[in-house]
Amino acid sequence: MALVETDLDGGVLTVTLNDTERRNALSRDLVSDLVATLDDADADDAVRVVILTNAGTVFCAGANLAEQSGRSDGGQSAGRTVGMAEVFSRFRTSPKPYVGRIAGHCVAGGMGLAAAMDISIGVEDATFGFTEVRIGMAPAMISVLCLPKMREADARAAFLRGNRFSGAEAARLGLITQAVPAAELDAAVDAVVADLLLAGPGAIAASKRLLAEVPAMAVDDAFAWTQQLSAELFTSEEAKEGMAAYLEKRPPSWASKG
């Protein structure tokens, strides 16, 4: 069976991590397949929203330890074409919105996947945690994604203790957007997806650029750039359609495509 499965329905691409035997660990093969899937999703205009979820009871157990054991190259072997940094950055730079449907346990590198989503919803009783210190490692790359979402005091405790905590606690820490009972997971994800399908695809892409670029800018530079971006958006065909639809009290053209 494929390590990464996909299903496109009504503009929504569901991407399922399907290496249940290895608890969806981030092996070279799974990572390569995931990046190829992201490439296809970004290039396909029929894809409006991407959901990342899991088969089995584990969303992602982090690195494939059997594969990594004994290597001194940081996981970048000569035969490896992609790495986790590329995966994480793809979610940030993609013009498409990514929704995490965290339907199982999520630890170590899996925390990076959950935090990389634009919006992520997990089950309350799933186990989360930065467990790297307990095998002599540290949450290195995923700290880039997780630290901006956390209070320093919470990050210090979670990184240094390596303890596991519930989905509800992961939401409190800001690592995922929301935690819900398992029976309510699909309804919560569907509500988010429905909102995203009402938004203009170009507007979503522009909003993701703001989220990625504005925090790193000086204030004056940010105002200058966002003023230019706003002017460009106002003259776009998408914005013209959106404003006309609002004034005419009808749905915009893209709202019927999902």
Catalytic residue among 67, 132, 184, 238: 132
Question: Which residues, including other chains, have CB under 8 Å from residue 197's CB and lie 6 or more apart?
Answer: 11, 12, 48, 49, 255, 257, 258
Question: Nearest to residue 122, comparing CAs of 80, 203, 185, 64?
Answer: 185
Cα–chain center distance at 126: 18
User: What is the distance between the alpha carbons of residues 129 and 255, in angstroms, rounded to a whole number?
Assistant: 38
Question: Nearest to residue 88, comparing CAs of 155, 140, 123?
Answer: 140
Question: Nearest to residue 15, comparing CAs of 40, 50, 56?
Answer: 50
Cα–chain center distance at 67: 24
Q: Indicate if 237 belongs to the active site.
A: no
End-to-end CA distance of the chain: 29
Q: How far is it between the farthest Cα atoms of the chain?
A: 65
Triad 55, 183, 4: Cα angle to 5°: 15
User: What is the distance between the alpha carbons of residues 128 and 107, in angstroms, rounded to a whole number?
Assistant: 5
Catalytic positions = 132
